[in-house]
Amino acid sequence: MRDGLPFPLWCQGAIESFQAYLFGALVVLIPALAAWFAGAWSDKTWQDAVSIGAQWWLSAHGVPLFRAENAQGGGGVLWFVPLLLTLVPFALAWRAGRRLARASWSDQLWQGIAGASLFYAAAGALTGWIGRTEDAQSSWWMAAVIPLVVVLLGLVVGARREAGSFGRLIGVDAAEWLRRTSQYSRWAGSYLWAVARAGLIGWVASFGIAAVVLLVRGLTHWVEIVTAALHLAPGPVGGAVLAGGQGVYLPNLINWTLAWISGGGFSVGTESSFSPLETHAGPMPSFPVLALLSTDLTDAWWVMILPVVAGVVAGWWFLREGENHLEESLQLRFGPRWLALSVSTLLLGALVGLVSAVLAALASALSSGSLGVGVFTDLGPHIWLTSLLLMLEIGVGTMIGYLLAPLFERDLVLDA
């Protein structure tokens, strides 16, 4: 008794998962109850407001809601993930993963993660039951399984952050494994790892450029957004909830903007499509932020140069990383440096562009969705066209950045 009672890891994992679920639920429940108290849903009870909050929780975790046929607007599937709100359960799971990693050995970590996952799955199923209304509901097994994607990702990333490496996380000596491989294998691994990071930098840079474009667009069309919001007459509390409800879709809108500057474009329903080359404007949902969309988005082909700038950043970074072992290998095998440089640069642009395109396709898919009402069943970027154009634009920019960077970079060894 003096040493205390043993505390199993699976139980600690369940407690950490309970904390993550509780804080995540409060984030959506408080605005829902505040909106009901302010009279946003005059024909609803507080139990209905709790059910609406549960549906918001499910949407934040990517769980689809199935609208009833007799609901206003008819039946359909509502799946439109608020990506900024999704960061809340991810961040809470990240914290839980770090705490579990500190409390366990590498061969015991699975126990804490298993306990956390089982509790969160049960909580998700319960939330799916609470979120059942006459207008929409989710499948209980989807409500139990789909949220685990976000939670498990957060748990693993948090545990890895605490452990410092995946090798220490799973009890494998990565340094010893690398020591047994050949020098050529280590060079190939270093090259591919640098290419993957350059592709990530290219996509992040293009995402940042898209965010700046969206900010400028919002500042220049602020009056239209405010006017559209005032037409809804939400009141002070309802206005705050409306602003927050649009803010949680900010990453989605940035991804739409990235699709637009790439040239691929995006759709807002089956009758509206926007790209810098051609625009077809149709009915719009009652979101004030969509006042940014107008016919002046056409004939702006020059914005397609912006992703090339992101590729230049990726190529410049790759040169500074100094891991172009492919060029060194080609030069040793074929002799002329101009040939090795040309082939390796073309392959570098293709590989970096491919990595960025894969990330863009994933982000575009997550930022797409459907409201399940009328024509609003196709929201989001044109995924394949956007990914293809970004691969070309970032790939070309990578080659330009890699070739131009030596003109501005100083070699500290040679200059000494």
Average pLDDT over residues 326-350: 76
Local confidence band at 414 (pLDDT 50, 70, 90 cut-offs):
very low
% of the chain at pLDDT higher than 70: 84
Asked if pLDDT for residue 250 goes beyond 80, the answer is yes
Asked if pLDDT for residue 199 goes beyond 90, the answer is yes
The kind and range of the H/E element at 7 are: none
155 and 43 within one domain: yes
For residue 413, being part of any structural domain is answered with no
Q: What pLDDT, on a 0 to 100 scale, did the predictor assign at position 416?
A: 41
> Residue 33: exposed, middle, or buried by beta-carbon count in 10 A (0-12, 13-18, 19+)?
middle
For residue 414, being part of any structural domain is answered with no
148 and 253 within one domain: no
Local confidence band at 48 (pLDDT 50, 70, 90 cut-offs):
confident
Asked if pLDDT for residue 46 goes beyond 50, the answer is yes
109 and 58 within one domain: yes
Interatomic CA distance for residues 317 and 314, integer angstroms: 5
Instruction: Among 154, 179, 204, identify where a domain stops.
Output: 179
147 and 27 within one domain: yes
Q: What pLDDT, on a 0 to 100 scale, did the predictor assign at position 176?
A: 53
Average pLDDT over residues 389-409: 91
243 and 355 within one domain: yes
Which residue range forms the structural domain that includes residue 141? 9-179
269 and 127 within one domain: no
167 and 118 within one domain: yes
Average pLDDT, whole number, for the chain?
A: 84
- What's the pLDDT tens digit per position in 58-116? 999 999 999 887 777 677 888 999 999 999 999 999 999 988 888 877 677 888 889 99
Report yes or no: 310 and 205 within 8 Å, Cβ to Cβ: yes
Select the more confidently predicted residue: 194 or 332. 194
221 and 109 within one domain: no
251 and 162 within one domain: no
Asked if pLDDT for residue 412 goes beyond 50, the answer is no
Instruction: Among 136, 156, 179, identify where a domain stops.
Output: 179
Interatomic CA distance for residues 220 and 363, integer angstroms: 26
Instruction: Among 156, 179, 202, identify where a domain stops.
Output: 179
- What's the pLDDT tens digit per position in 278-328? 888 777 777 888 878 765 666 778 889 999 999 999 999 998 887 676 676
Local confidence band at 212 (pLDDT 50, 70, 90 cut-offs):
very high
Asked if pLDDT for residue 122 goes beyond 90, the answer is yes
Average pLDDT over residues 216-226: 84
Output the pTM of the full model: 0.88
Interatomic CA distance for residues 18 and 258, integer angstroms: 37
Q: Which amino acid, one-letter code, is at 46?
A: W
Q: What pLDDT, on a 0 to 100 scale, did the predictor assign at position 270?
A: 82
Interatomic CA distance for residues 399 and 392, integer angstroms: 11
Asked if pLDDT for residue 179 goes beyond 70, the answer is no
Q: For the chain, what is the domain count?
A: 2
Least confident among 74-78, 84-88, 168-172, 244-248: 168-172
Asked if pLDDT for residue 1 goes beyond 50, the answer is no
Nearest to 52 by CA among 117, 114, 138, 123: 138
134 and 218 within one domain: no
- What's the pLDDT tens digit per position in 124-135? 999 999 999 888
